């Protein structure tokens, strides 16, 4: 399928000074990482991720949940950010106000070079204590697992938000503000099904933003967005960037 970007999307992006982006698991799909709702593979296929990613599951069987995250951490470390992550690093350079909000815990945006990231659901490369909540600087994968908190003796857990847990309030406030203030909002690679992140594109739309969804599959956002760009983020974002950067180059040459 030949991908092309509608002219109105290019013009809106060129004219904007405030752009907010929300990413989900789909942006890491082209790095070879299965999305959250895709069937899990191998040993983990018999588990439902929504049942492993809960405080109750960790309390019941800390080692099982720890091992699941260790498996995902290894898979992510062996993979690389893809052209979609890199395109967002470059896109940011074109705006005075650019906010990147991610639901992903994989750290690929950071590895690609983005620095101002609101990680709404945490990051699986960090850990904190399940009991006292204090972050730990690291752990020994060869030692007792899950590792033990040096302060209180509780188990260390991944520093991610699990089902049934609240999101970090300050980050959520920042994300709402960025959604409200954006002129263009890009929702990329998310099923837009998990609250409160799923409300961000709606908030931006209500506040007058131009909403663009990038996803190969139709989601509930596709009909309310100004445009649904159907296709993989790793192809669409670099193309989008080419159009935006191309225009700036052309106007520099004119002057």
Active site residues: 121
Distance from C-alpha of 93 to C-alpha of 97, rounded to nearest angstrom: 10
One symbol per residue from 205 to 224: x for binding ligand OAD (CB under 6 A), - otherwise; what is it?
Answer: ---------xxxx-x-----
Q: Closer to ligand OAD at the Cβ: 13 or 27?
A: 27
Token pair of 93 as six digits: 């350079």
Among all residues, whose Cβ is closest to ligand OAD? Answer: 26
State which of positions 64-123 bind ligand OAD (CB under 6 A): 103, 121
Q: Closer to ligand OAD at the Cβ: 18 or 55?
A: 55
| CA distances from residue 245 to 20, 92, 99, 249 in whole angstroms, order as listed | 18, 11, 19, 6
Q: How far is the CB of 160 from ligand OAD (least distance, A)?
A: 6
Listed ranges 10-18, 40-48, 136-144, 189-197: which one lies at the site for ligand OAD (CB under 6 A): 189-197
Distance from C-alpha of 132 to C-alpha of 243, rounded to nearest angstrom: 49
Please report whether residue 194 would count as binding ligand OAD according to CB under 6 A: yes
Q: Closer to ligand OAD at the Cβ: 201 or 234?
A: 234
Q: How far is the CB of 132 from ligand OAD (least distance, A)?
A: 22
- Say if strands 18-23 and 184-188 run parallel, antiparallel, or are unpaired: parallel
Nearest to 195 by CA among 230, 220, 215: 220
Residue count of the chain: 255
Residue entry with tokens 């890199």? 86
Q: Closer to ligand OAD at the Cβ: 200 or 233?
A: 233
CA 18 vs. chain centroid, Å, equals 19
Listed ranges 33-41, 56-64, 65-73, 145-153: which one lies at the site for ligand OAD (CB under 6 A): 33-41
Nearest to 55 by CA among 199, 194, 155, 197: 155
Residue 161 · residue 118 · CB < 8 Å: no
Q: In the complex, which residues of this chain contact ligand OAD (CB under 6 A)? A: 24-27, 29-30, 35-37, 53, 103, 121, 161, 189-191, 193-194, 214-217, 219, 232-234
């Amino acid at each position: 399928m030949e991908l092309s970007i509608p002219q109105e999307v290019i013009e809106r992006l060129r004219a904007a000074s405030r752009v907010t982006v929300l990413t989900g698991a789909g942006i890491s799909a082209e790095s070879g990482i299965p999305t959250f709702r895709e069937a899990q593979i191998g040993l983990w296929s018999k588990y439902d991720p929504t049942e492993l990613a809960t405080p109750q599951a960790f309390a019941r069987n800390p080692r099982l949940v720890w091992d699941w995250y260790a498996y995902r951490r290894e898979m992510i470390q062996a993979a690389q950010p893809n052209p979609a992550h890199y395109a967002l690093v470059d896109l940011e350079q074109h705006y005075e106000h650019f906010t990147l909000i991610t639901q992903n815990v994989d750290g690929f945006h950071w590895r690609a070079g983005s620095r101002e990231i609101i990680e709404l659901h945490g990051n699986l490369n960090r850990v904190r204590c399940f009991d006292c909540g204090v972050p730990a600087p690291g752990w020994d994968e060869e030692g007792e697992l899950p590792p033990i908190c040096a302060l209180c003796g509780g188990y260390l857990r991944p520093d991610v938000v699990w089902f049934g847990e609240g999101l970090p309030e300050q980050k959520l406030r920042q994300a709402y503000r960025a959604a409200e203030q954006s002129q263009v909002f890009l929702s990329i690679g998310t099923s837009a099904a998990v609250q409160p992140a799923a409300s961000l594109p709606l908030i931006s739309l209500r506040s007058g933003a131009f909403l663009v969804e990038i996803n190969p599959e139709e989601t509930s956002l596709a009909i309310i967005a100004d445009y649904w760009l159907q296709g993989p983020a790793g192809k669409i974002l670099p193309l989008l960037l080419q159009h935006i950067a191309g225009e700036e180059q052309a106007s520099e040459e004119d002057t």
